[in-house]
Amino acid sequence: MYILFILFFTSLASIVFMVGRKITILEHEKVLENQEVLFEVPYLKEVKHITITNMKKHGHAGLVATVRFYLKSTNFLKNKYQEVKIKIKSISQKNLINGERKEISKFLKIMADYKHKIREIKHKIRKEENL
């Protein structure tokens, strides 16, 4: 809080000092006519030409960067997909016992058979409705 007050009053004092200095110069009519300009502004056509060339250059660089990022990311994802695929296959092979899969419970077998029979019945009904 105190720091904000110090900054405020310091900036206020500097503004008062600058305005007072300008007022004293105007009172004594000591306006400096030959003041040097710190920077030059080029013609508008030159500025337009420079900005267009820079936009083209940076646009091409940005396009190249995005295409490179796209290709690298797709290659990375493809490699990771292959690794995951290999891991899944190795895990499924570990689940095999002596070259055969583990025995599925009888309840699940019965449910799968019922679902298969229901699908066949639905398929037959649809065929009859279409005829």
Please give the residue range of the domain that contains residue 110.
103-131
pTM: 0.38
Q: What is the pLDDT of residue 67?
A: 95
- The whole-chain average pLDDT of the chain stands at 84
Amino acid (one-letter) located at 67? V
| Closest-CA residue to 32 (of 21, 43, 42) | 21
Q: How many domains does the chain have?
A: 1
The 10s digit of each residue's pLDDT in 65-93 is 999 999 999 999 999 999 999 998 888 77
Residue 121 located in a structural domain: yes
* 122 within some domain: yes
Question: Is 56 part of any domain?
Answer: no
Whether residue 32 is predicted with pLDDT greater than 60 in this model: the reply is no
Report CA-CA distances (Å) from 54 to 39, 51, 62.
Answer: 21, 5, 12
